[in-house]
């Protein structure tokens, strides 16, 4: 998982980490920060351990060793202290990390670090067009913020802090990141999916962890919050997630907002030796013992050339269907995300995903639609032809004069619903002669209210009104706001007004 947020308190990261290079398991604090190996870090001479003074100088003063790195000193550049790209491993991987021996635990941490590095590399090449290089200080942490439990939940994650400067490869100097930060957010979902795909591939091929897909992420086989032997343990150590879900966020974006609004101040971190002892005790209570590790791990994944091609074909087919499931055209980053999600638990690395992306976009199945709203967009050739046929049919239907509504019915609907002048004009348009009409407008302008008046006018004229929505929830909302009552499809043969989903209408 990947979350992106502005850095407010740079001192938090270095304060939470131990200052010595070699991590002491028995002392308070997380491992010391590490500079990722990027061209930007190399240009500044930054490598290995993050030094407190260097990090704070870069984030707060945009300076290093007392030298300013920006030619300008504008106010908004002063306020930008960096961006926190937080990469979190799936919950079951954190549990495996808790019960693992030192060797396997180190391998899991290395797989996590490698996946983060590949995700950052993608952001540099795609979000920054390969022209600039990020300067990233990575801080590994092992627990979440306080949840409902006496101790924090185990959560292997890394704060990849992008300092507010990037290295311009052409100009060979540091420039402000503030003008490119928006692109990091645009590529967030694709980068997060690539991180998960790379992490899954390394876990399967190096350690031999058996994995399975779960929605858009993956878990260790047999670990799920919904079912299975370890369901109770997964939910017990997901207390922070349960707090967020209690607010019933509508989507992932709203869930992230709730997470930032409800999170408390992170308390002083206990020594990992103490945390691991308490976590392992809880695992034992839920019948997951460190001694069971050998039962969870299998032989590292080895695949023949034919097996690799087969998995790539399955991944490509699933992604090609996913990118056109809800829209007729897509961008490169949307395809990367779809491929990365489909590749999880199939042993495909991030390099395989980028290669499949280039191959699919260059294939005969895809049409380049050109640049639309700053993004080059593509379409599936078959979908494109179907869309052209549909638009041609719409043009023919628009010329047919039918579905007439008497003026007295329109006037009655206007008076009963109390429409504004703009809504009255819209009502006249949608009830005019013609077999197809479209009503559009920004949120809050009363589109649904106007359609409720149109429903009454059509009904009074003697027509049967069928309301159609994409999902069951939208169907119910449409029924409540337009008084088109939902009912069983079997009643469609009658004269009652209907409100159903599109898929059910087409199926029947």
238 HSE (CA, 13 A, CB side): 20
Phi/psi for 126 (5° steps) reads: -100, -50
Give 361's contacts (C-beta < 8 A, 6+ positions apart). Answer: 332, 335, 368, 378
Q: Cα angle vertex 145, ends 91, 261, to 5°?
A: 110
| pLDDT beyond 80 at 506 | no
pLDDT in tens, 8-34: 889 989 888 888 888 888 888 889 999
* Sheet order of strands, 330-331 included: 330-331, 375-380, 366-372
Q: What is the pLDDT of residue 302?
A: 87
Cβ(118)–Cβ(350) below 8 Å = yes
With residue 220 as reference, give the H or E element that holds it: strand 217-220
Contact call for residues 427 and 419 (beta carbons, < 8 A): yes
User: Rounded distance, CA 77 to CA 74, Å?
Assistant: 5
What angle, 0 to 180 degrees and rounded to 10, lies between the N-to-C axes of helices 91-99 and 102-122? 150
DSSP per-residue string spanning 473-502 = HHHHHHHHHH------GGGGGSSS-EEEEH
Regarding beta strands 466-469 and 498-501, do their DSSP bridges make them parallel or antiparallel, or are they unpaired? parallel
Q: Binning pLDDT at 50, 70 and 90, where does residue 73 land?
A: low
User: What average pLDDT does the segment 341-356 reach?
Assistant: 94
> How far is residue 160's CA from residue 183's CA, in Å, rounded to a whole number?
16
Quick check: 267 pLDDT over 70?
no
Write the CA distances from 427 to 53, 104, 409, integer angstroms.
66, 67, 11
Q: What is the percentage of the chain residues whose pLDDT exceeds 90? A: 39
**Digit-coded pLDDT (tens) for 105-158:** 999 999 999 999 999 999 999 999 889 999 999 999 988 876 667 788 899 999
pLDDT band, residue 351 (cuts 50/70/90): very high
Mean of the per-residue pLDDT values for the chain?
85
pLDDT (average), residues 71-82? 67
Is residue 490 scored above 50 in pLDDT?
no
Here the tokens at position 85 are: 């790209």
Matching residue, tokens 């010329």: 399
What are the pLDDT digits (tens) for 387-421? 889 888 888 887 777 778 899 999 999 998 889 99
What SS3 class is residue 146? coil
Please say if the pLDDT value at position 167 is more than 50. Answer: yes
Closest CA to 33 of 162, 166, 160, 199: 160
DSSP state of 134: E
Collapsing DSSP to helix, strand or coil, 261 comes out as: helix
The percent of residues in the chain predicted with pLDDT above 70, rounded, is 87
Select the more confidently predicted residue: 325 or 162.
Answer: 162
| pLDDT for residue 79 is more than 80 | no
* Top-confidence range, 291-300, 357-366, 380-389: 357-366
Report the 10 Å Cβ neighbour count for 430.
Answer: 17
Q: What is the pLDDT of residue 487?
A: 44
What's phi and psi for 6, nearest 5 deg? -70, 145
């Amino acid at each position: 998982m990947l979350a992106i947020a502005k850095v407010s308190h740079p001192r938090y990261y270095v304060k939470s980490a131990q200052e010595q290079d070699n991590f002491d398991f028995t002392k308070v604090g997380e491992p010391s920060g590490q500079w990722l190996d990027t061209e930007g870090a190399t240009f500044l001479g930054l490598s290995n351990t993050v030094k407190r003074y260097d990090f704070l100088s870069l984030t707060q003063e945009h300076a290093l060793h007392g030298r300013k790195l920006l030619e300008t000193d504008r106010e908004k550049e002063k306020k930008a202290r960096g961006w926190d790209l937080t990469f979190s491993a799936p919950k079951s991987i954190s549990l495996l990390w808790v019960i693992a021996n030192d060797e396997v635990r180190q391998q899991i941490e290395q797989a996590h670090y490698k996946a983060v590095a590949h995700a950052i590399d993608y952001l540099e090449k795609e979000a920054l067009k390969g022209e600039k290089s990020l300067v990233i200080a990575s801080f590994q942490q092992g627990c979440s913020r306080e949840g409902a439990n006496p101790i924090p939940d185990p959560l292997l994650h890394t704060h990849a802090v992008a300092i507010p400067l990037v290295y311009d490869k052409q100009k060979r100097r540091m420039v402000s990141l503030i003008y490119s930060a928006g692109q990091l957010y645009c590529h967030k979902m694709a980068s997060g999916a690539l991180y998960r795909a790379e992490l899954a591939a390394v876990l399967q091929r190096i350690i031999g962890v058996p994995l399975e897909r779960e929605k858009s992420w993956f878990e260790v086989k047999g670990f799920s919050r919904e079912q299975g032997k370890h369901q109770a343990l997964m939910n017990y150590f997901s207390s922070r997630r349960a707090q967020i879900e209690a607010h019933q966020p509508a989507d992932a974006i709203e869930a992230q907002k709730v997470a930032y609004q409800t999170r408390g101040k992170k308390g002083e971190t206990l020594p990992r030796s103490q945390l691991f002892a308490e976590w392992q005790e809880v695992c034992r209570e839920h019948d997951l013992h460190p001694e069971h590790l050998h039962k969870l791990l299998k032989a590292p994944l080895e695949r023949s050339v034919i097996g690799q091609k087969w998995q790539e074909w399955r991944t490509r087919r699933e992604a090609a269907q996913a990118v056109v499931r809800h829209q007729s055209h897509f961008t490169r980053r949307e395809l990367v995300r779809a491929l990365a999600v489909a590749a999880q638990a199939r042993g495909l690395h991030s390099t395989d995903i980028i290669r499949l992306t280039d191959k699919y976009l260059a294939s005969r199945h895809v049409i380049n639609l050109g640049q639309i709203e700053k993004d080059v967009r593509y379409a599936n050739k078959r979908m494109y032809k179907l869309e052209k046929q549909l638009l041609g049919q719409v043009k023919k239907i628009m010329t047919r004069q039918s579905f007439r509504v008497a003026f007295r019915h329109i006037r009655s609907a206007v008076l009963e619903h109390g429409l504004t002048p703009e809504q009255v004009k819209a009502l006249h348009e949608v009830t005019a002669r013609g077999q197809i009409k479209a009503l559009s407008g920004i949120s809050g302008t009363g589109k649904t209210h106007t359609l409720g008046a149109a429903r009454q006018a059509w009904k009074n004229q003697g027509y049967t009104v069928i309301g159609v929505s994409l999902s069951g929830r939208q169907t119910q909302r449409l029924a409540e706001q337009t008084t088109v009552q939902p009912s069983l499809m079997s009643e469609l043969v009658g004269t009652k007004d209907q409100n159903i989903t599109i898929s059910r209408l087409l199926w029947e």
